[in-house]
Amino acid sequence: MSTLSEQERLHHFRNMKVGTANGPFEMAPWQTAYTSNDAHDEKDVVEELTARLSRTLDTVKDVIADSIVPSHHATPFSHLRMIDALSTDIAQIRHFYDLALHKLRCQVFASNALVAPITRIPDDIMAMVFEAAADPLRKESRFLYYLLGSNTHSNHRPSQITIAAVCSKWRKLAHNTPELWGTMIINETLVPEAVDEWCLRGKNAPLDLVLTLQNCMEEARSHKIAFLNRVSHRLRSLKLLGHLPSLDHAAEEWSEPAPHLQKYEVEHNGCACTDVTTSRHVTTVYIRDPSSLPALRSFTIYLLSPWRTVPTFEGCFSGTLEVLSLRFTSSPLPDLGATLRLLAGVPALRLLRLLGVKFCDKVHTEACPTIDGLDAVVLHQLRTLEITSSYNYSCNSAICYKWLPLLDAPKLQTINVNNSQLWQREICSIDRQLTS
């Protein structure tokens, strides 16, 4: 590769990135997915290309030989049939040629990328490198570090700012790549001017947003909800974290369409605010109606709070959801019947997480009163079920799993319950009772 001219290098690189072979083939490391160099092994393809070329040349040589030394068996019509039949072989040769060329390009660039001068890397490739190193806009604090990433250094600044300070070329490239500015974590201490500038550079690129509503002052909440409505059309994922009254108001005041929102998460926590201008009266389920979010595929909700009446979520979830995470608390015990009715409204689920579950406290009784009179819910598309219990993590034998058979999932492939397999004994016992 080092012997190629810059023009040849760019020619091969761009063709490798696009690919010209018919049919599917593996991606290069700088495309949308990464595969190891073993997947780019060109040996088999080159051998196949050589074999096909050899057979085609042998056929052509036979036709030429017959033309020079006429045989009573060879006629122009037989030669015509032989040459015409080569069209399929030639098409296959072209296919294997393109595929071998693509694999060789991948191998060459994968093995020589580190020594290529960085100034010669095309702008679109450099933008992809910058995207891989991009950081969210955030005001670091001990409280927020777990929301996205694990960097707790208060003096850390986003890599995009450092990149833009290197030289005029990198600055122009960073400022002209909206995807670099697509993640934000907004809390009370983040400077509004920084939020506006970051949002401006992101233009209309998809936005992943974490918004905290930890202040029950109406002025603080209204400013954030106004921003949420302003960027709603860009949202790809959204996490709302805050006090229940503020989340309740946000559910009512966030009204702009979010046609591209795929992932939605709502987490509430306790409120100890002394300065309160937000009403503490909760009248809704503190989530926006998922049916108004047409692209939503993943939803996480913290369902219960031990210090207030639990609102109902029945009928609130979109039937197109594929991933649903429900987090419970054990005081008071959650309503299993309401949970089953909720799940019946999301038939397209492929992954279900039930976190902090404790539907029954009658652990040592043979019969479970919690499941009496309840019908199973059928989840035809469910592939994965993940469950964590809210107590006795170190003693799985003391956990009641008698409600599990009420989840009828004929295509279920994976179950993970507190990383234990002990629940299988209870399932087998229940099955024997049902069939006896």
Per-domain residue ranges of the chain = 6-119, 178-435
Provide the residue type at 35 as one letter: T
Work out the mean pLDDT of the chain and round it to a whole number: 73
Whole-number pLDDT of residue 371: 74
Whole-number pLDDT of residue 231: 94
Whole-number pLDDT of residue 323: 92
| Per-residue pLDDT reduced to its tens digit, 141-187 | 444 444 444 444 445 678 888 888 888 888 888 888 899 898 888 87
Distance CA 328, CA 75 (A): 84
Distance CA 327, CA 340 (A): 14
| Per-residue pLDDT reduced to its tens digit, 7-63 | 666 666 666 555 444 333 344 444 444 344 445 566 777 888 888 888 888 887 777
Whole-number pLDDT of residue 405: 82
Contacts of 103 (CB under 8 A, 6+ apart): 25, 40, 41, 42, 45
Distance CA 162, CA 165 (A): 5
| Per-residue pLDDT reduced to its tens digit, 221-280 | 788 888 999 999 999 999 998 887 788 888 888 999 999 999 999 887 766 665 555 555
Whole-number pLDDT of residue 3: 57
274 DSSP 8-state letter: S
The torsion angles phi and psi of 287, rounded to 5 degrees, stand at -135, 150
Q: In the CATH hierarchy, which top-level class contains the domain 178-435?
A: alpha beta
Q: Is 226 exposed, middle or buried (0-12, 13-18, 19+ CB in 10 A)?
A: exposed
As a whole number, mean pLDDT of residues 321-343 equals: 79
Count the residues in the chain: 436
Whole-number pLDDT of residue 393: 44
DSSP-assigned beta bridge partners for residue 311 = none
Distance CA 28, CA 31 (A): 5
Q: Which two tokens stand for residue 210?
A: 């974490």
Distance CA 75, CA 13 (A): 48
Task: Indicate the SS3 state at residue 218.
Answer: helix
Q: Is 51 exposed, middle or buried (0-12, 13-18, 19+ CB in 10 A)?
A: exposed
Whole-number pLDDT of residue 149: 45
pLDDT at 207 over 90: yes
pLDDT at 93 over 80: yes
